[in-house]
Structure formats: structure tokens, C-alpha cells
Amino acid sequence: MHRLGILLSGRGSNFLAIHRAIGDGRIPDAEIAVVISNKAEAKGLDAARSLDLPAVAICQQGKGPAAREEHDTKMIAALTDYSVDLVCLAGYMRIISPAFVQAFPNRILNIHPSLLPAFPGLDAQQQALDYGVKVAGCTVHFVDEAVDHGVIVLQKTVLVQDEDTSETLSGKILEQEHRAYPEAIARVLSGTHRIVGRRYLPL
Ligand code: GRF
């Protein structure tokens, strides 16, 4: 049984999409071992508790490299305590340290609401609108030591309409995120693909 650790900072809709996908068999042979947040007030933690899943807050203490390392040491310890073998960042709004990445080599996934490498960082949907793209989407990727940069597992697209606002575009992308993340997790856990350079290809 694969044990997922979900890291989030906010409402947790991607976490809930993953939970549903485990429930209906789209992510076979997996369970959510723990949900961890850097924000005690994250709605996603409440959702985890009401599903009777272990929910842990490990709160933020500063942003410098030393603070990041200290925070991530606690994160690694918690993930290890719960025997997590795949870490899924789902709206986790904190940059993770190199030590964290190295503790779970090719075992950390992230979802980003743009077609990377376009529009990394914050407010990706607004960045896409401002740029004037006609196609937007989301990306599930492995986490490496650079932000929104690791090997891409899969992407899904949405069409941008002339009348779209940041809110409507975010909603359409979020719908695709909820399909993309479970599919990507299932693909990674199935062991049918491998990383070749920057490409994720069938064995
Ligand atoms: C999503 O748009 C995700 O792509 C981004 O943060 C948002 C999290 O939403 N990284 P939720 O907390 O999963 O609802």
C-alpha cells in the first residue's frame, strides 16, 4: 500500500480530489497517511479531520535559509513518522529546502496552475491572462531544487475565452487540476514510467 503525505496551506480542494480518487479506485493501492499544513488555520486541515485522517500543523517560523531548514527538518520527521512514500504538495505555499527535496528523491509532486515553463510563481492565472495566452492549464511535476521547475508528469489544458477573468479562468483550471493530480499520482505509483533527461516516458 502506497502512503501519501499531503502538504497544503489553504482550502485543500486538490487534497479532496485525491481523496475521492483513492475512494473510487482511480488511484489504486494507495492511502493518505497524513495531511500536514504550515498554517494551523488551513481549511484543508479541518477537512482532513472530518475525514478522520491524521492532520498536523507545523507552523512557519521565518523565511531565511536557516528557518527554512529548521522547518523542513520537522516536516521530514513528520513524514517519516507516518511512513510516507510519496509527498504531494497541494497548494503548499512555502518553498521547500534542498534538504527536503533530497530526503524524498523523485518522491515529491506539485501541481501548478499554468502550463509550465510559462508563468511559474504566484498568480499564474493572472499572469496568463495578462500575457494574453489563448490556451492555459495546469501542470503536475516532480519537485526539484528550483521553484516550479522539475520534470513534468502531465499537463491539462483549458481554452481562454475573451470574457475570462482571473476568477473564471482559475475555476476552469481548478476543474482540470482535480482530474490531473489523481491521474499523475496513479501514473507515478504504477511504476510504468521513468525519467529520461527532463522527460517522463513509458518504460
Ligand atoms: C491550486 O490552484 C494549485 O494549483 C496551487 O494552489 C491552489 C491550491 O488550491 N498550487 P487547493 O487548496 O487545492 O484548493
C-beta of 112 in contact with ligand 1 (< 6 A): yes
Retrieve residue 171's grid coordinates.
475555476
Which residue type is seen at 106? N
CA of 27 to the centre of ligand 1 (A): 19
In tens, the pLDDT along 86-118 reads 999 999 999 899 999 999 999 999 999 999 999
Which ligand 1 atom sits closest to the C-alpha of 111?
A: 4
Distance between CA atoms of residues 167 and 123, nearest Å: 11
Neighbouring residues of 193: CB distance < 8 A, sequence distance ≥ 6: 153, 187, 200, 201, 202, 203
1-105 CATH fold: Rossmann fold (3.40.50)
CA of 161 to the centre of ligand 1 (A): 21
pLDDT band at 65 (very low <50, low <70, confident <90, very high): confident
Write down the mean pLDDT value for the chain.
97
- Residue 68: is its pLDDT beyond 90? no
Residue 36 · residue 49 · CB < 8 Å? no
Q: pTM of whole model > 0.75?
A: yes
Q: Which CATH number fits domain 110-203: 3.40.190.10, 3.40.640.10, 3.30.930.10, 3.40.50.170?
A: 3.40.50.170
Phi-psi region at 83: left, alpha or beta (left = phi > 0; alpha = psi -120 to 50): left
Report the run of H or E that residue 164 belongs to, with start and end. none
Please report the pLDDT score of residue 83 as a whole number: 98
Distance between CA atoms of residues 53 and 112, nearest Å: 25
Please report the pLDDT score of residue 53 as a whole number: 98
C-beta of 37 in contact with ligand 1 (< 6 A): no
In tens, the pLDDT along 24-47 reads 999 999 999 999 999 999 999 999
Atom 5 (ligand 1) nearest CA? 91
pLDDT band at 130 (very low <50, low <70, confident <90, very high): very high
Mutating to test ligand 1, I would choose from 96, 111, 125, 139 the residue with most ligand atoms within 8 A of its C-beta, which is 111
DSSP 51-78: TT--EEE-----SSHHHHHHHHHHHHHH
Retrieve residue 40's grid coordinates.
494551523
Please report the pLDDT score of residue 75 as a whole number: 96
* Domains 1-105 and 110-203 belong to one CATH topology: yes
- Secondary structure of residue 3 in the 3-state scheme: strand
C-beta of 12 in contact with ligand 1 (< 6 A): yes
List residues with catalytic annotation: 112
Residue 129 · residue 162 · CB < 8 Å? no
- Residue 60: is its pLDDT beyond 80? no
Which ligand 1 atom sits closest to the C-alpha of 15?
A: 13
Neighbouring residues of 47: CB distance < 8 A, sequence distance ≥ 6: 12, 15, 16
- What is the mean predicted confidence (pLDDT) over 106-131? 98
Domain boundary assignment for the chain:
1-105, 110-203
- What is the mean predicted confidence (pLDDT) over 186-199? 97
